[in-house]
Each structure stands twice: as C-alpha cells, then as structure tokens.
Structure 1
C-alpha cells in the first residue's frame, strides 16, 4: 500500500486522551506505550500544516468513573492540553464523537471537511465507534492504529482478550468492514 494522501483540510480527531486512562487499577493492563508520543507527533504535524485538530473528551455518567466531570481523571492529558491552541473541543457521554456537543457533523460540514484521521483512547471503544460512524456517514477515514491504545477486556462466558488482540480485531473490523483505512503514524507523517 502507498502512503495515504492527506487532504489540506483533513481533520485530526484526538479521542478521549484524558488523565483517567492512566489509572491502571481502574482499567487494567494496556497496550501500545508509544500511543501518546504518536498522538503528540500527529497533533504537531497537523498544527504545523494548518490542518484542523478536534479534541474529544468523554464525560462519563457512570457512578465512580474516573472520566466523570467531577473527577481529576476527566482532564485532558498534559501533552494534549499543551497542544490545544484553537482546536474544537467536543464533549460526549457515549462512544461516538458524533453524539457530542458541539455537533461534530455540523462543524465538519461547515468547514467542508471530508477526510478524518481518528486517534486516541480506547482503540476498540470510542476510536472504533467514531471511525465506524464516520465511514457510514461518508467520510474518508484513516486510523493510525499505533496512535491508539486500549486495555485487556473480559466478555461473556469468561472470555477475555488482551489489549493487543482487541486492537487487532479493531483493525480487521475497520479495514475489512470498509469503514476506514488502517495506517501508521509514520504513513501519515511521510
């Protein structure tokens, strides 16, 4: 595959890069320790080229959540906060950034944006949900998997998957399902 062509107004969506995700006791084991450095590199590149950056923050409504607005974990991680500049900030309470305030779809449409790069936390939750919905809505979606991370997860009947297995499943779901093209940070920076 060749490196993707990045549109001059391609929007970088930085999903839920919040301090609460650093709470290993709450979330359990994670994958991809390079995710934050890759997200920062993408934010720097987008800002250096004048492309829009949208920061999405999760405001959990679940009691006891480390991402609840009244918890210290609700805050953006420092490296994101330091790079916010003029970025649009969308706040959501569900997995998709398209169900937040202000309305992401309206903002993208108003700016004539047709290409999205989706990075952040968690790979198999809010990143995947936002990318799937964006693909359904007709956007060209690129997901640099190495600019995401997730956590081990237990499912029904005692089945558990590691964070790496979940990330692989997300890559297969997104690209195999035609929702998005899975790329690397290096592909986007080339």
Structure 2
C-alpha cells in the first residue's frame, strides 16, 4: 500500500489486490487502515520517482506508436490510429502491451476506443475493453459522472440535482444544462 500526506493526515494513495481484499480503499486514513489490519505494509509515495517512471514507460511505449502522452499521475494515452495492423489488430496489440507490462511487474488496465474519453473510461471503469465506434454512449451511460472527466465542482453540482450517471446527463436537454452548469 502507498500513502500520501493530505493536510495533517496520511491517507492511502494506492493499494494492491491484497489490500483491496481487506476492504481498504483509496483515501482512507492510514491510522484507520492500521487499526483494522495492524500488519499492513505502508510505503510513502515518492511523486518525483513515480513521474520519472511514468515518463520512462511513455518512452518505452514508442515501440507501439509515436503518439504517447502522460495522463495524470498514473496513466498513459497511446494514439494507435494506423498502427494496430502492425501488431495483428487491436486485440492483439492491446494483449501484447498488457502482457509486456505484466512481465515487467505492472498491473495494467487498458481501453481502446475511437475517442480519448471513451478509451479512458473503458480502461478505468471496465478494464481491458475495446469499444467499437458507435458504442461509446452505451459504454458511458451506466458509469458515474467521474467517468466524464469533468471538473469536481461541476460533477458535484450535477449530482446535487439528481444527475448521477453519464447516461442521465446525456438524456438531459443540453440548453438548460449549459445555462446552469456552463458550456463545458
């Protein structure tokens, strides 16, 4: 388990499968986690080392596409447009990338879609999905608003009026939403 400092408290920043099996969650206080499970191992996050590692992984991914970008603190975007045939197709390419990351000791979730947002949601909420063009709405509809990558304050405002899923927002009339919550 990896911790980070949040104000005056140490909180869980990331956890492995064993910690998840103990019902520990991201954001939980380390003191609470240790009260539940005194023998857990906790390592403090090293954000600079994590960033260097992510940059190195992005460079390593150049073997698949020249268009690789870092996404936040823990993700990569690979624009594989026009590249998948070199690896035997989308599924074969995704499987190879995942396998090679696993062989290096990384736990990876991947999503492939025709839009960056749908690929991001597929990786983060469904893991290892390939979304065919035209299926983005069906993928997103049942997901929480966080899958839309909107600002937290807008998400909270939408939730406060009962719009809690991406599908609820997609079904709502655009003009009133834009007036109330902004064009974004």
Higher fraction of strand: 1
TM-score normalized with structure 1 length: 0.26
TM-score normalized with structure 2 length: 0.27
Higher Rg of the two aligned structures: 2
Higher fraction of helix: 2
